Chain A
């Protein structure tokens, strides 16, 4: 990950954080 270009590393970090937020903040599969 440290070798990733900054744009990809930022996008990856954002994607993982948003995914975690989405999963933990919503009741699953309503």
Chain B
């Protein structure tokens, strides 16, 4: 479906319930979220590496809302062969062994079978951005805290471009992203969560992306207040 026809008109801000937040949002089941995230970056001129929807939920009504994992789409970066020209330091080899072990265990748990063998896909290098995306699934942010939490709190998009700016950020997630080779990270709030995009390329703010996000995720935010 085209984005416009698939998005219901202007729903009131909805906040999910911790544990299974998507259940309370008929417009944002996970299949729909996945399609929207894919549409957002597959059709973009820019080379986005991933997109994540951080879902707002309430633990109890006396506490601030929490942004937890809603869904994510990992596209990957174009130039994956860069690493092939890099030297394989002992640290790199140790880190790769750790990542492959974790992926092997996750594969085994998901599939319910023992995995192994030299041809197993997990024996392929686990890139920095794959790892960053994977560990993102374990993270959550209190409203006002961290890059997604700040975007949610301020109701304004946050767009950070450049290694230096990411490294100098007060937000741990921005510094972490920079450490895993990302050069651009963007957080755009919605009524019920935050859309985050990351790229290993330098991407500067465009109205086009903001508009696509607005259409796909049906936002009511001040696009000028960045």
Contacts and interface: CB of A to CB of B under 8 A. Distances in A.
B106 A10 contact: no
Interface in B24-83: 30, 34, 55, 68-72, 74, 76, 80-81
A20 to B, nearest CB: 4
**Size class of the A contact interface (CB-based, 8 Å):** 20 to 34
A22 B103 contact: no
**Size class of the B contact interface (CB-based, 8 Å):** 20 to 34
Nearest to B84: A29
B121 A24 contact: yes
Interface string A7-27: 111111111101110111000
Q: What secondary structure prevails in chain A residues at the interface with B?
A: helix
A27 to B, nearest CB: 11
Contact of A23 (B20, B21, B68, B121): B121
Given A7-B55, A23-B121, A16 B34 contact: no
Contact of B121 (A8, A10, A11, A20): A20
B133 interface: yes
B38 to A, nearest CB: 11
Contacts of B20: 5-6
Contacts of A20: 121
Given A12-B106, A22-B76, 11 more contacts: A1-B106, A1-B109, A6-B20, A6-B22, A7-B70, A8-B69, A11-B69, A15-B134, A16-B110, A20-B121, A29-B80
20 contacts: A1-B106, A5-B69, A6-B30, A7-B21, A7-B22, A7-B71, A8-B69, A8-B137, A9-B110, A10-B71, A11-B69, A12-B134, A15-B74, A15-B134, A16-B103, A16-B107, A19-B130, A23-B124, A24-B121, A29-B84
Closest CB pairs A-B (n = 7) = A20-B121, A1-B109, A29-B81, A23-B121, A23-B124, A8-B137, A8-B69
